[in-house]
Amino acid sequence: MNYFEIIYTALGGLALFFLGLKYLSEALQSSGKEAIRGILSSLTRNRVLAVLAGVGITVFVQSSTITTVMTVSIVNAGLMELRQAIGVILGANIGTTVTGWVISIKVGKYGLLLIGLGLYPMLSAQRAWLSTLGKSLVALGLVFTGLEFMSGAFVPLRTDEAFISYLHLFSADSLPSLLACIVLACVLTMIVQSSSAMLGITMTLATTGVIDFNTAVALIIGENIGTTITAQLASIGANTSAVRAARAHAIFNVLGAIVFVVLFPWYVQFVDLIVGGEADLQSADGSRPNIAFHIAVAHTMFNLLNVLIWIPMIGFLTNLVVWLVPQKEEKEVHKLKYLGSRTIIAPEMSLQQAELEMDNMVVIAREMFDVTRTYITGPTHDKKSFDRINHLEDITDNIEEEMINFITVLLTGSVTQEQSERSYGLMRMADELESIADALQSLSIYRSRLYKRNEDISPEAWQDILDFFDEVITYFDQMVEARKRNANVGEIRLLIKAGRQVRRSAKDKRKRHLDRLRAGECQAITAQTFSDMFMSLQHIKNHTVNYLEAYAGI
């Protein structure tokens, strides 16, 4: 028997399978980006919606690993509470079972046909939906072709005496062999870092007659434990909440596996009972035609029952991980760190994360407006407010740098023209928000000079400053509201035109200031400070307009 041929054929088939899953994930994300955005916006409502959100996202990305890593990073950003994050992770375990149903479809021999049908529209179609459809067909073709290659590679093993004698150690017909199967699947899944890939291998081994149904179910249990390793790696260096979310993922899967090990014989019988046909029925060529469907049901029922057990106990699970992972003593700053390998998460989900970070940055900028206004209107220098302004400005600097680095790495991969344009727009928007934070910091510095010199400008001048500040805040809030409701390009253009009224108001106020200066109603030094503060506010208004242009792609 040529083991070398078996190995390279199986590895080649696995590579095609991986590539197919990647393309399928990207195609689904591209076609469902609005649905994904809606799902993400509903994450913090309640535990049931959080679970459904986890299911929905995982169906789109075709990987519970991606969903879990993304959830850990969002928790690390402070954009999701631990309880909701646990719900999303529970849902991800259900969503990942969709891959098993796709694999169980017996159309392997039509894989090349699907690739042929989808390649032309994928590469040449002018319409986005047609290109996405073509990519989906190519992806499914690669998945089925990869499985077909693996199936062909494994066929000789069912008659190989050496392999069969070794396989008896993993027959799952006794507790030691059952545990051996679980450990083996767990280790292999940790190495591959994809439970979907291991499920594909399990189904292929089973359908070719190499392993029986008991062994396949045992491997499924181990795969569900092994898939937790990626989230654990993603939580390294993260804040306490993110580490707790990762630990909850591991506890949920490990305890679920223990329950099903205890109930293993009855669980296998239960699946056989609800699925028609004998799982281990062998055809004349030695294959098992019924087993793929049985495995898909076993995989789905394992995750579904596990989730149903834990949904009422999310509060308990939350308290457990809080007890296991104590809060760090030092104060933690929540900001998105894009944990794990950036190649794990496909472009559309990466852009969704970047947009969440953008929302976080907008919130920080809005807080700076409030703190700055409080500071400049105070009777004396307030060190606490002044330090807070500087701290928030430092955060915006860090976030902008992280976002630019993240998007730059994203753009080195395979992205569509639309994703590329959104990426550059996000970088420009981050730059404009950081510039707004710089201008607010400058405004507070100019005000601090007056405090230190114990000087002030005239009441009329102050009123003009505060009135203009309020107009700028209002305009910024209009921009935030437009982003929240996903305003169209026409609405954004009207809002940009509305900025001209703010500019005219600023021009009138500067003219009044020059009139006061000519009349000798204010000193030259304080007049210069007034001018500096006024220019900072004008810069904020201009950067807000630039942000709107970047958002609308104008």
Please report, for the chain, the start and end positions of each structural domain, with discontinuous segments joined by +: 3-324, 347-552
Residue 438: pLDDT over 50: yes
Structure tokens given for 7: 């190995």
Structure tokens given for 451: 């405090």
All residues at 6 or more sequence positions from 199 whose CB lies less than 8 Å from its CB, including other chains: 99, 100, 103, 220, 223, 295, 299
Structure tokens given for 146: 């990869």
Q: What CATH architecture applies to the domain 347-552?
A: Up-down Bundle (1.20)
Compute the C-alpha angle 48/54/57, nearest 5°.
135
Name the CA dihedral angle for 215, 220, 221, 225, rounded to a multiple of 10 degrees: 140
Residue 476: pLDDT over 90: yes
Residue 48: pLDDT over 90: no
Task: Please compute the mean of the pLDDT values over residues 162-183 and round it to a whole number.
Answer: 78
More confident position, 187 or 346 = 187
Give the chain's end-to-end CA distance (angstroms, integer).
Answer: 64
Residue 89: pLDDT over 50: yes
pLDDT of residue 508: 84
Nearest in space to 204 (alpha carbons), one of 104, 98, 280, 347: 104
Task: Please compute the mean of the pLDDT values over residues 232-258 and round it to a whole number.
Answer: 82
pLDDT of residue 428: 92
* Residue 77 pLDDT level (bands cut at 50, 70, 90): low
The dihedrals phi and psi of 96, each to the nearest 5 degrees, come to -70, -15
Nearest in space to 144 (alpha carbons), one of 192, 106, 108: 108
For 361-389, what is each residue's pLDDT tens digit?
A: 898 999 999 999 999 888 888 899 999 99
Nearest in space to 352 (alpha carbons), one of 273, 422, 424: 422
All residues at 6 or more sequence positions from 140 whose CB lies less than 8 Å from its CB, including other chains: 20, 24, 102, 111, 114, 118
* Residue 429 pLDDT level (bands cut at 50, 70, 90): very high
pLDDT of residue 43: 58
Name the CA dihedral angle for 289, 291, 297, 302, rounded to a multiple of 10 degrees: -170
How many whole angstroms separate alpha carbon 519 and alpha carbon 507?
19
More confident position, 307 or 151 = 307
pLDDT of residue 523: 62
Structure tokens given for 351: 């852009």
* Most confident by average pLDDT, 14-28, 320-334, 340-354, 361-375: 361-375
pLDDT of residue 484: 82
Structure tokens given for 392: 């928030």
Q: Read off the amino acid at residue 449.
A: R
Query: Per mean pLDDT, which range of 41-45, 172-176, 474-478 is the poorest?
Result: 41-45
Query: Per mean pLDDT, which range of 192-206, 464-478, 516-530 is the poorest?
Result: 516-530
pLDDT of residue 432: 94
All residues at 6 or more sequence positions from 401 whose CB lies less than 8 Å from its CB, including other chains: none
Task: Please compute the mean of the pLDDT values over residues 281-310 and round it to a whole number.
Answer: 85
pLDDT of residue 78: 62
To the nearest whole number, what is the mean pLDDT of the chain?
81
More confident position, 115 or 132 = 115
For 497-515, what is each residue's pLDDT tens digit?
A: 888 888 888 888 878 767 7
Q: Are 104 and 292 in contact (CB under 8 A)?
A: yes
Chain-centre distance of CA 524, in angstroms? Answer: 54
pLDDT of residue 546: 92
The dihedrals phi and psi of 523, each to the nearest 5 degrees, come to -80, 155
Q: Are 340 and 131 in contact (CB under 8 A)?
A: no
All residues at 6 or more sequence positions from 270 whose CB lies less than 8 Å from its CB, including other chains: 301
